[in-house]
């Protein structure tokens, strides 16, 4: 649905995006992660047909960016970083104008559908300048969807929202994912990215890595096992570390964090050895991969490079 090849953008000699190549498959949610100034918003603006690339190419919904801007913009939806609503106009007026600009056929029905879906119908005639940040963000999301685009670009959709509103927006994005829409979302919230995205792309001007969060974790870290002990002694750490399939043992409180090859096969041997040396095992669990760990490791590697 989205393909980029060597997508590059320069602003007055400053390289904002460097040779970005990736694909987003139909119905997939791809998270675009990276520090401030990494080129996430610039990438989205290029793909949404707002600005032209300096070099490289990309196609979105079959439209080549920089060629047929109006047709491309008509097929995609964009949630901008700031809601950017017309504050003196009502929620209904805001949506109706956008529906008309997008050539929506049944304007009234579409506007009602999204105002109801996002629980704004009761406030439809109120000026949006009186809305809370969360309500503005919901209306901006409705605006991005009013023409039923197949591809959605969401630039930091939950930024600055309270946890309850952020969850509501996240749930709505999951609903859109369930409808088979292709979504490219930028976020600084790694927990959110892990929950929402099928794959994540980490960028820092150029593409650092792209994959499923679990695969990225596996690529960067060995799989791990967490062993909770009743009481920790140095000999338990030594015994576990001496096993040939264990690469690292770290102690955190009453827990042993063990990095090992093929945990599915070797966990039993690990537990056996710990019991042999007198450890009382409370429980054993696999260590869940954290996207934050992956992201920080990738950024650290980039800094070192």
Binding site for another protein (CB under 8 A): 11, 45, 48-52, 70-71, 73-74, 78, 80, 82, 84-89, 93, 97-98, 100-103, 127, 140, 143-144
The per-residue DSSP string of 18-40 comes to EEEEEEE-TT-EEEEE--TTSSH
Query: From the CB of 154, what's the least distance to another protein, in Å?
Result: 12
Residue number with CB closer to another protein (153 or 295): 153
Residue placing its CB nearer to another protein in the complex, 103 or 303: 103
Beta carbon of residue 74, minimum distance to another protein (angstroms, whole number): 4
Give the nearer residue to another protein in terms of CB position, either 100 or 235.
Answer: 100
* Cβ atoms 85, 136 nearer than 8 A: yes
The whole-angstrom separation of Cα 28 and Cα 184 is: 8
Cα 221 from Cα 294, distance rounded (Å): 8
Q: How far is the CB of 166 from another protein (least distance, A)?
A: 20
3-state SS assignment for residue 201? strand
User: Which strands make up the sheet holding 281-286, listed edge to edge?
Assistant: 246-252, 255-260, 224-229, 281-286
Q: For residues 178 and 33, what is the distance between their CA atoms, to the nearest angstrom?
A: 22
Q: Could you tell me the smallest distance in angstroms from the CB atom of residue 87 to another protein?
A: 6
CB contact at 8 A, 169 and 144 = no
- Say whether 192 sits in a helix, a strand or coil: helix
Nearer to another protein, 141 or 190 (CB): 141
Pick between residue 141 and residue 249 the one whose CB is nearest to another protein. 141
Quote the longest CA-to-CA distance of the chain: 74
Indicate the residue among 140 and 200 with the shorter CB distance to another protein.
140
CB of 198 to another protein, least distance (A): 24
Report the nearest approach of another protein to the CB of residue 296 (Å).
Answer: 30
């Amino acid at each position: 649905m989205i393909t980029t090849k060597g997508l590059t953008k320069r602003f007055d000699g400053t390289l904002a995006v460097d040779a970005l190549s990736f694909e987003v498959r139909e119905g997939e949610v791809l998270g675009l992660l990276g520090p401030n100034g990494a080129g996430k918003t610039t990438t989205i603006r290029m793909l949404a047909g707002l600005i032209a690339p300096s070099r490289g190419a990309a196609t979105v919904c079959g439209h080549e960016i920089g060629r047929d801007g109006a047709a491309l913009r008509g097929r995609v939806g964009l949630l901008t970083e700031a809601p950017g609503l017309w504050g003196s106009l009502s929620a209904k007026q805001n949506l109706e104008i956008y529906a008309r600009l997008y050539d929506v056929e049944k304007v009234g029905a579409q506007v009602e559908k999204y105002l109801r879906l996002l629980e704004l119908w009761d406030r439809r005639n109120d000026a949006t300048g009186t809305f809370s940040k969360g309500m503005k963000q919901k209306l901006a999301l409705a605006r991005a969807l009013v023409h039923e685009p197949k591809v959605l670009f969401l630039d930091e959709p939950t930024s600055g929202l309270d946890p309850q509103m952020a969850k509501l927006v996240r749930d709505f994005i999951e609903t859109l994912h369930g409808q088979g829409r292709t979504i490219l979302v930028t976020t600084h919230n790694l927990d959110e990215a892990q929950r929402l995205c099928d794959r994540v792309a980490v960028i820092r001007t150029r593409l650092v890595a792209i994959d499923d969060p679990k695969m990225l974790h596996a690529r960067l870290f060995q799989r791990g096992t967490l062993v909770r002990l009743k009481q920790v002694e140095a000999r338990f750490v030594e015994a576990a570390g001496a096993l040939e399939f264990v690469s690292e043992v770290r102690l955190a409180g009453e827990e042993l964090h063990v990095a090992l090859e093929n945990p599915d096969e070797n966990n039993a041997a690990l537990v056996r050895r710990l019991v042999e040396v007198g450890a009382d095992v409370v429980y054993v669990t696999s260590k869940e991969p954290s996207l934050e760990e992956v992201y920080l490791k990738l950024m650290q590697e980039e800094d070192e490079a």
